[in-house]
Structure 1
Amino acid sequence: MKKVYLIWLAIHIAVWGVAFYEFPSSINERQLAATSLFFVILFILPLFKERTMVLTLLFCTQTILTILVFYPADNLLNPYLLFIHALLLAEAVFYLPRWKSLIVVVFQSGSSIYLLSEASLTTTQLIWSSLFYMMLISALYHYQSVHKREKETQQKNDALLNEYRKMKRQLVTEEEQARQDERMLIGHEIHDSVGHKLTALIMQFEVFRLHAENKDKEKIADLKQLAEQSLEETRRAVKSFKQTEVGGLQGVIRLIRKLEMESFMKISFSVKHGAFAAPLTGEQSFAIYRAVQEALTNIMKHSTSREAHVMFESPGGSIFRFEVFNIAPSHPFFQEGYGLKAMRTRLEKVGGSLEIDHNERHFVVRGSIRLVERRGSYD
């Protein structure tokens, strides 16, 4: 809206400048006052863009002011009046619905007829002026009809797009639910079959150990311990099947896929310097996932650009870094909101930190987490 208004303003200034330059005589007080009021109305038009009746009255007032400015002096009519009237008609057709713009057209036509009748014009000049107004009004109403059809088409496209997004969200939800149901089914199967059989095996080992000779008891105890470890690992696997949130790299990849389908974001994802092999704990992995999720959500809600780049790296294996980069200017009065503060707090709890870098060209969220090296024991 701001850009369109500035274009209208620039055209008005150019046309009025040439019109005053071509004035046959000096400008009197009446013309200067009417011109000033005309531009005052022009400057306040954006304040009433949603109130079409007020806009209609303002356009009609501007028409009256053109009569006061361009009333034929010495029976000579300024030819640039036609361009100023064309601008007023174009603005009325652009901003107003059809029947209200028709009021401005009728009012404008009446003022034009009055000015043309007061000037000493030849028959040819009257014919050309009449043709100019007729062709102008016809062209503007044709534009309004085309613009109305385009607007209706755009509204239908927006409705279809919203419906498409709803279907995509429903598809993703149903897919996630089906995946979760499958995971739960597999978890129950493991728990009911493998878990119960391992429990029975442990009990049999214990009974066998009680009745075995002393030389075999130590070996049986080792076998029982191995079975108990297998049972514990089975329980952990079943527990992981019941989790609904997936963090780390896998969760970020699923998040990117979801945003690209639902929000039409263009996201590039790169992994550098051993990020896949980084020894992240479950809590650290989930904190990274949440941080990237919050950063991408902020880009989707606040950025003028729909593109983002996500990068993971773990140089040397002692630190894990991530970066979410968006090529778009940040707000000059940017302040960290609740989401970024919560992201910083979550990373600090797992030994990490958060950095925000923003200027007139980009907005970057960087995070890092110190890694604890995991050493395995070998017997």
Structure 2
Amino acid sequence: MFSYWLWLLLNLSIWLLGLHFFNEEILGMTGRLFGTALYFVLFFILPLFLAKPKIVSTLFFTQAIIAMFTFFPDMDGNFNPYFILVLSLLIGEGFYRLRFVLSLLLGVICTAGLSFTTFHMGLAPSMQAFIVIYMFILLIAMTFYKKITDHNQDLEARYEALLSEYRNVKRRVFSEEEETRQEERMLIAHEIHDSVGHKLSALIIQLEAFRLKVFEQDQEQVRFLKELASESLEETRRAVKSLKVNETGGLPGVLRLIRKLEMESLLRIHFSVKHGAFSAHLTGEQSFVIYRSVQEALTNVMKHSSAREAEISFEAPGGGIFRFEVNNPVTDDSKFTEGFGLTEMRNRLQKLGGNLDTYKTGEMFTVQGYLKIGYGGLE
């Protein structure tokens, strides 16, 4: 936004100085003032069509023609040097906005118009040579600028693609490690259940059978051994059950579910974890509500935005509350109305001592939510 206002200030300053150079009466400058007004009308509406290259190209070419007619001197007038600066700014913006071929064509048209004006005025050969050399150097400089800019954009796109692929591989490796770890836990649990558990069960049966055969004074000792074996079997069952549990609580569990959603929905998600979010002690219910809230926000991304990407940040400042925020770029100015999903998520967060807020700006749609750690439910 700052660059836009700076560019507008440069154009206004040069055009005002250029009009002042003519030193004509207001009535005699009607055509020039009309051309100036039309030029800046196109200047202001041009940002509205940046996504449509053909319209942008047409506007630039029209601006060039308007500038040539506006600054074209009368037969008895002097050559306006600010005309060179006006065309220079127009060429610079053209190389910034347009593709290389179109920007070069714009530069050639502006150069041809300026050359025709200088020859029409009959300027000194040295001045004509200076203007031609200046425009030639300007076009070469703009060409190098365009090539370097396109090369940098290509490198940036490749970097983003490699970074995205690296993140996908990293997440896939993490998921595979978790799956391998879980398979090992299940294997150990089955081994314990099949070997130790069965042997303890057999031992209890044998002790019960032995108790029926021993004398009365030994039955108390056998009963104690049977109870000890039963307690060992129960502890073994609890250990097997804990090994079979496949639930990851806290933020790691939420991230795992979001990564799965990312792969299923073909979204590109950038994560940011701050201020103790990983160490926050979240209950299973809290983790589930956070995931469902983020999922609902991402669903709105897929419904209302053409950009298939989002930024998600988590933080737990002070350890008392857990916050999350989902941002995604928007390209339309339509008014956003909350649906049933976001309203339901707000109600769930409020039951856990939190809340949910949504707001939309000209460039970003944001969903923010928080809940109190340890509020509601059992720790």
Q: What TM-score do the two structures reach when normalised by structure 2?
A: 0.75
**Gaps in structure 2 of 5+ consecutive residues:** 263-268, 302-308, 362-366
Match of 1:51 in 2: 52
Q: Give the total of aligned pairs.
A: 350
Q: Note the C-alpha offset of 1:246.
A: 1.1
Q: Note the C-alpha offset of 1:186.
A: 1.1
CA distance in 2, matches of 1:267, 1:255: 19
Q: Note the C-alpha offset of 1:222.
A: 4.9
Would you say the 8 A contact 1:295–1:365 is kept in 2? no
Match of 1:180 in 2: 182
Letter in 1 for 2:272: M
CA distance in 2, matches of 1:265, 1:48: 33
Letter in 2 for 1:151: Q
* Aligned pairs (5 A) from 1:114-125: 114-125=116-127
Match of 2:353 in 1: 353
Match of 2:364 in 1: none
Match of 1:366 in 2: 371
**Secondary structure at the counterpart of residue 248 of structure 2:** coil
Q: Note the C-alpha offset of 1:326.
A: 6.5
Letter in 2 for 1:355: N
CA distance in 1, matches of 2:57, 2:73: 26
Match of 1:286 in 2: 284
**Secondary structure at the counterpart of residue 269 of structure 1:** coil
Cα deviation per residue 1:209-262 (whole Å; 9 max; x = unaligned)? 333445554554454344334323322332332333211477579899999xx9
**Secondary structure at the counterpart of residue 111 of structure 1:** helix
Would you say the 8 A contact 2:201–2:233 is kept in 1? yes
Cα deviation per residue 1:100-125 (whole Å; 9 max; x = unaligned)? 12221222122112222333533332
* Aligned pairs (5 A) from 1:1-379: 4-27=3-26, 28-73=29-74, 74-214=76-216, 217=219, 220-248=222-250, 251=253, 263=270, 265-269=272-276, 285-293=283-291, 308-311=314-317, 313=319, 321-324=320-323, 338=341, 341-342=344-345, 345=348, 348=351, 352-356=352-356, 365-368=370-373, 369-370=375-376
Would you say the 8 A contact 1:356–1:366 is kept in 2? no
- Aligned sequence identity (%): 32
Q: What TM-score do the two structures reach when normalised by structure 1?
A: 0.75
Letter in 2 for 1:268: H
| Residue 182 to residue 68, structure 1, CA distance change in 2 (3 Å) | same
| Residue 339 to residue 186, structure 1, CA distance change in 2 (3 Å) | farther
**Gaps in structure 1 of 5+ consecutive residues:** 277-283, 314-320, 374-379
Letter in 2 for 1:288: Q
Letter in 1 for 2:141: A
CA distance in 2, matches of 1:188, 1:134: 80
| Residue 54 to residue 311, structure 1, CA distance change in 2 (3 Å) | closer
| Residue 190 to residue 54, structure 1, CA distance change in 2 (3 Å) | same
CA distance in 2, matches of 1:366, 1:135: 62
| Residue 296 to residue 222, structure 1, CA distance change in 2 (3 Å) | farther
CA distance in 2, matches of 1:35, 1:234: 88
Cα deviation per residue 1:35-68 (whole Å; 9 max; x = unaligned)? 1211121122123323323322221111111122
CA distance in 2, matches of 1:44, 1:150: 28
Letter in 2 for 1:310: A
Match of 2:306 in 1: none
**Secondary structure at the counterpart of residue 196 of structure 2:** helix
| Residue 343 to residue 137, structure 1, CA distance change in 2 (3 Å) | same
| Residue 326 to residue 159, structure 1, CA distance change in 2 (3 Å) | closer
Letter in 2 for 1:13: L
CA distance in 1, matches of 2:227, 2:339: 52
| Residue 81 to residue 253, structure 1, CA distance change in 2 (3 Å) | closer
**Secondary structure at the counterpart of residue 177 of structure 2:** helix
Q: Note the C-alpha offset of 1:75.
A: 2.0
Q: Note the C-alpha offset of 1:195.
A: 1.2
Match of 1:280 in 2: none
| Residue 155 to residue 271, structure 1, CA distance change in 2 (3 Å) | closer
Would you say the 8 A contact 2:250–2:278 is kept in 1? no
